[in-house]
Copies of this chain bind each other. A is one copy, B any other.
Amino acid sequence: MTPELPRRRRSGRVTLAEVARAAGVSPITVSRALRGERAVAPELVARARAAADALGYVPDPAARALASHRSTHVAVLIPLLSNTLFVDLLEALQRTLRTHGYQTLIGITHYDPREEEQLLREQMAHRPAGLVVTGFERSEETRALIQASGVPCVHVMETSRAPGVHCVGFSQQDAGYALTQHLLAGGARRIAFAAAQLDARVMQRAEGYRRALREAGCYEPALEMLRPEPSSIALGGHMFARLMSESAPEAIFFCNDDLAQGALMAAPRLGIPVPGQVAVAGFNDLPGSDQLMPSLTSVRTPRETIGEEAALMLLRLMRGEPVPRPCVELPWSLVVRESTAAPHEAERPAKAGRQGSSKAEG
């Protein structure tokens, strides 16, 4: 007959106190031993670890967060999940953070500053240990919220040398410049820039495009087609059709592979040979770009590495460790494929040169 104990509110999980009792030390010592904090006598660390393992102890994140004012959550704000670019970034980020005991909370902003602000407010209520945000374009309120919170924050995809800013990205402008130079090298002079969404990164690519064309003395503002709506494969097809009928450029730099893929899919319907009549290039090198006919020239962006590096930087910040370089700029590479082959190349059998790619440092 088990005695009727006073009603408890225990959750059934093994607690630190139980581990301490088993190990024959105080709960605080177990806490310190398990967290690797301070100098605890090696022997006690071993005893604490053994007892914790034996009992299957799992620290309670809620109790930990309440007592320490810091959770093991990292809030991540990205514009979209329906773009492989951000999925790759997120997977790398999440994998790296998880290895170090942190959970990732994802907020999807849909490129809307107010949505971003709302998401951030909600996430801040959960006392995240760290924060990852996309780029630098956001509302003043959001910026102030981040600043005032004191939560370590890493910016991804773009770079900035501003003091106090932590970021991991690459030079969108340099990549846009290099891609445009590649188109110029193919002999094109009338080169269009076709973009949608028009976020900061897209506009930085546009700047690279302009710089290259100005240097070559053939910048024509009329050859820019800038559309504010979300980017999509279908939109790429429409933009391609309009561009070809209205200004018939010799080459088109689409601000991302979604649009460029749409152009390549629309081309046979429109009876426009690519690259025979017009060269086409994209950006980000998304799945499918290497398989289309013709295969698509693009810029391979280092999103996995950005995710990994950003996670590592944030881990240092969250632990209060010094960060060697607050601004990490990563290399990208130009991937040259059939869609921008020079005329004489285009006449070769379709398969030739498909795997060709040249690298350029960002």
Contact = CB atoms under 8 A, between A and B. Distances in A.
A63 B60 CA distance: 12
A237 B84 CA distance: 20
A82 B84 contact: yes
Main secondary structure of the interface of A (DSSP, over half): mixed
A266 B288 contact: no
Nearest to A9: B69
Interface in A224-281: 232-234, 237, 261-262, 265-266, 268-269
A11 B351 CA distance: 63
A287 B329 CA distance: 32
Interface in A97-156: 98, 103-106, 108, 122, 125-127
Contact of A71 (B62, B87, B88, B125): B62
B127 A69 contact: no
A61 interface: yes
Contact of A106 (B9, B69, B71, B104): B104
B232 A287 contact: yes
Contact of A288 (B122, B126, B288): B288
Contacts of A207: none
A98 B265 CA distance: 37
A290 B350 CA distance: 25
A346 interface: no
Contacts of A293: 265, 268-269
A104 B105 CA distance: 7
A13 to B, nearest CB: 9
Contact of A265 (B60, B88, B234, B288): B288
A212 interface: no
A81 interface: yes
A22 interface: no
Given A62-B127, A262-B288, 8 more contacts: A60-B125, A61-B126, A94-B106, A103-B122, A104-B105, A265-B291, A269-B351, A288-B288
Interface of A: 9, 11, 58-63, 65-66, 69, 71, 81-82, 84, 87-88, 90-91, 94, 98, 103-106, 108, 122, 125-127, 232-234, 237, 261-262, 265-266, 268-269, 287-288, 290-293, 350-351
